Amino acid sequence: MSHTYSYPRPAVTVDCVLFGFRPDAADLQVLLIERADEPHEGAAALPGGFVEVRDGGDQGEDLEAAARRELLEETGVKVDYLEQLYTFGKPGRDPRGRVITVAYIALVRSTDHAARAGSDAAGASWVSLRDARARVMAFDHREILDMAVARLRGKVRYAPLGFALLPERFTMPELRSLYETILDAPLDRGNFRNAVLRLGVLKKVGQRKGNGAGRAPDLYQFDKRAYDRATREGISFDPVPDSKGPPRVARAERKRR
Amino acid sequence: MSHTYSYPRPAVTVDCVLFGFRPDAADLQVLLIERADEPHEGAAALPGGFVEVRDGGDQGEDLEAAARRELLEETGVKVDYLEQLYTFGKPGRDPRGRVITVAYIALVRSTDHAARAGSDAAGASWVSLRDARARVMAFDHREILDMAVARLRGKVRYAPLGFALLPERFTMPELRSLYETILDAPLDRGNFRNAVLRLGVLKKVGQRKGNGAGRAPDLYQFDKRAYDRATREGISFDPVPDSKGPPRVARAERKRR
DNA sequence: TCAAAAGTGTTGTACTTACACCCATGT
DNA sequence: ACATGGGTGTAAGTACAACACTTTTGA
């Protein structure tokens, strides 16, 4: 069956940059597909595909729904957070014809979902951000990935985004480690803790024992109500030092007292 | 001539929220088109139109180029700043068929360009934001406008955006008035001044006399080099008081000395 | 009992806020 | 001269970066 229009139309796809976090890894995880077909056969690609469109009264699916569907089909992953990133439509970005793609950032709580190969892909797998950057990527997916990382790095400083990457219950060191991973910078234990707790969105729910040496860290989970309110009211949560910082002198000074 | 595809495809358009600023007005200006055809004949709409696509080797124009072209065609305005806002693609947003639109925010230095009616529109005119919100708007353009205002309000606090709305040479009171207009909040004269000058992107270039009573304000323009550097390095420029503010007590206290 | 790791408190500095004061212009 | 409005300085108060101290765990 074919479909005819009086002017040429572009194909429209969605592509997803799916981030995950493993407490044991020193880097963010990204889910990549190995392309099974030409063009760019064998290259790494972001999961994604065509948006379902119909010409009748029912016009098809929403863009965000398309992103969720493609992620589920291609990788078997159900996302916890989804946000539109940017729309890429440069002529020539796909050699087969004009393709405009709406890119999304997706976050998942757990990378346990064994990423499995779907019908459109030779294979889907979690790759560390560092490794991902070393791969050859199809189309303009490198550019999309870079923009996604930049956005994540930027947004994490004023929105409580990182939380969507952790399991339901987590410890303060895990949360801090996550932010250090995303921002690629060391963060002060005490100050990070205070900043997070001042948000008032966390509940203490016991502690985790048996982690090896050291004091057992407290376990936290979200106060969903307070979290939603905070998100709506646009809280500011910046765990990054000001770079110019206040105490610059007077370290030895204090020791003398 | 007709174009045939094996799957149905959406039409893709660009729509622009074009902001302008008039120092004499107490509100931001938005450029609106009055729709000449059904659907929504007579309603207000954002300037925009179809992205040019070709099926051959030359695949057509870039999305951003489409936005610039439509603005020029429909309103005769050349924009100074253009930024992609969001892509709207909900099924049913256009009753005629599936249409996905890539929305842009555009800023112009001067609203002098007499907005003139183009071929696709019954009329294009600058309208204050307040008036725009009171109009009936076509499609989901109300939603697009609201998102654009929210983005502008948010972004202006950490990026030197507002500058793109002023003529080449401007005074500090004008710049402050612009920010007060965008943010819809009064700003302290001295503090605003200090914050702006601390950025180090302005050059003093004389002063403006003959404005009526009062001291003649200094004229400024950009140090382009410093401005670009600042933009690249992601300066933070937040003219908005912290809401909790420091001096809360001790006002009467000082008077007594 | 010691090392390791997490929780908690302390402190100087720098920055922000709200003004006050001084200056320049037109009437 | 004086009213109007813009430029400039300043003190109080606060937040925060750095880091010391305390507590709890496993070996």
- pLDDT tens for each residue of A221-239: 988 888 887 777 766 777 8
pLDDT exceeds cutoff 70 at B115 = no
Q: For residue B188, what pLDDT is reported?
A: 94
The rounded mean pLDDT for chain B is 86
Of chain B, the percentage scoring pLDDT greater than 90 comes to 56
- Model pLDDT, residue B57: 85
* Token pair listed for A73: 């089909």
B251, pLDDT greater than 70: no
Protein residue with the closest CA to the C1' atom of nucleotide D15: B246
Closest to B182 measured CA to CA, from B164, B156, B206: B156
Best mutation target among B4, B9, B232 (most A Cβ atoms within 10 Å) is B9
Residue B58: list chain A partners with CB under 8 A.
Answer: 91
How far apart CA A10 and CA A63 sit, in angstroms, is: 15
**pLDDT at residue B253, as a whole number:** 40
Surface of B (167-226) touching A: CB under 8 A: none
pTM exceeds 0.85 for this model: yes
B255/chain A closest Cα distance in angstroms: 30
Contacts of A58 in chain B (CB under 8 A): 91
Q: How far, in Å, CA of B192 to CA of B173, rounded?
A: 10
Q: State chain A's mean pLDDT as an integer.
A: 86
Chain A touched by B86 (CB under 8 Å): yes
Cα B2 to Cα A78: distance, rounded to the nearest angstrom: 40
Inform me whether the C-beta atom of residue A245 falls under 8 Å from chain B C-beta atoms. Answer: no
Question: Mean per-residue pLDDT for B58-64?
Answer: 96
Q: Tell me: the pLDDT tens digits for B46-60?
A: 999 999 999 988 999
Per-position DSSP letters for A77-145, written without gaps between them: ---SEEEEEEEE--TTSSTTS-EEEEEEEEE-S-S-S-----TTEEEEEEEEHHHHHHS-BSTTHHHHH
A245: phi > 0 → left, psi -120 to 50 → alpha, else beta; which? left
Residue B130, pLDDT above cutoff 80: yes
Does strand D come within 7 Å of the CB of B255?
Answer: no
Cα-flanking dihedrals φ and ψ of residue A125, to 5°? -155, 150
